Amino acid sequence: MEHQPFFKHGPSPLARFIFFASISLVLMVLDARLNALDSLRQIISVAVAPLQRLAMTPAELLDRTGNFFVTQARLQNENAVLRQQQLAQAAQLQRMQAMQAENIHLRNLLGVQQQRGESVVAAEIVYVGRDPFSQKITVDKGSNHKVQAGQPALDDVGVIGQVTQVYPFSSEITLLTDKDQAIPVEIVRNGARAIAFGHGQDGTLELPFMAANADIQNGDTLVTSGIDGVYPAGLPVAVVSKIERNAAFAKITCTPSAGVNRHKQILILTGEVRRFQKPEPDPAVTGTTGGKAPVSRKKRG
């Protein structure tokens, strides 16, 4: 500006804006591209956590008063149903124990590595994500309860997603339906393996890279295949709901089995997260293919 201001105001608004905007831009690049700001996020979360707690109290109070006025008849009904369920499940549990023993025995015979024993943390959903661009929930258990990033989260029906961000007293779980989330699955009927990707907004999963004539039907159940080392094998993931076979690859849409809208409680499997090392490129192999670089698969998302 060419004129001299009558009062001194410090730097002009434009200068201040450029200053703060550029710090924000740097932060965004560091966070999105390099994932270098986890510690800063942890520090800021210390300031936000009390506010979040405070913001949760009205809803909790409402919830508690609601619980207080439950009728006796409803409680008795619920009790009766639960008792029946418990009987049925006790019978199943006994069968399962017998089968587990048999399984261990057979595995020993085969010399197969023991499946890892899973320990579980029950967590309560605090928030269902406020960010319209991603599918995330926040739960009330964090690193103080042995939750680590990468651990799978389940409800009583199937897989919900994976822990992606851990704070001391809470953690963020990215749902399977998030656009950047993938899970290796297996069709129960025929054992065919595939990878299910989240679809983003509409709460469905899709199976890309399946040939148009692949053996898959409406209503097929998908379970985790366990080959990624993150999700244990055999957990229900989704049910195939729609198949379009008019291109080279079939367009397969699935409905997730588990849902975060049904209950407040979920389970986090807190076993060790196995991390696989990237295989070293083998010089012998690249030598035989005439110096061609090995085909690298581009990471999705």
Residues that bind other proteins (CB under 8 A): 9, 13-14, 16-17, 19-21, 23-28, 30-32, 37, 40-41, 44-45, 47-48, 51-52, 54-56, 58-59, 126-134, 136, 138, 165, 172, 179-180, 200-201, 301
DSSP string for residues in 157-188: SSEEEEEEEE-SS-EEEEETTSTT-EEEEEET
Q: Which is nearer to other proteins, 101 or 128 (CB)?
A: 128
Q: Which is nearer to other proteins, 55 or 82 (CB)?
A: 55
Q: How far is the CB of 162 from other proteins (least distance, A)?
A: 14
DSSP string for residues in 20-88: HHHHHHHHHHHHHHH---HHHHHHHHHHHHHHHHHHHHHHHHHHHHHHHT--HHHHHHHHHHHHHHHHH
Q: Which is nearer to other proteins, 40 or 93 (CB)?
A: 40
Q: How far is the CB of 11 from other proteins (least distance, A)?
A: 10
Q: How far is the CB of 222 from other proteins (least distance, A)?
A: 23
Distance CA(116)–CA(137), nearest Å, equals 27
DSSP assigned state of 144? G
Q: How far is the CB of 263 from other proteins (least distance, A)?
A: 14
Q: How far is the CB of 43 from other proteins (least distance, A)?
A: 9
Task: Compute CA 163 distance to the chain's CA centroid, rounded to the nearest angstrom.
Answer: 5
Distance CA(192)–CA(215), nearest Å, equals 8
Q: Which is nearer to other proteins, 136 or 223 (CB)?
A: 136
Strand partners, 137: 128, 173
Q: Which is nearer to other proteins, 49 or 192 (CB)?
A: 49
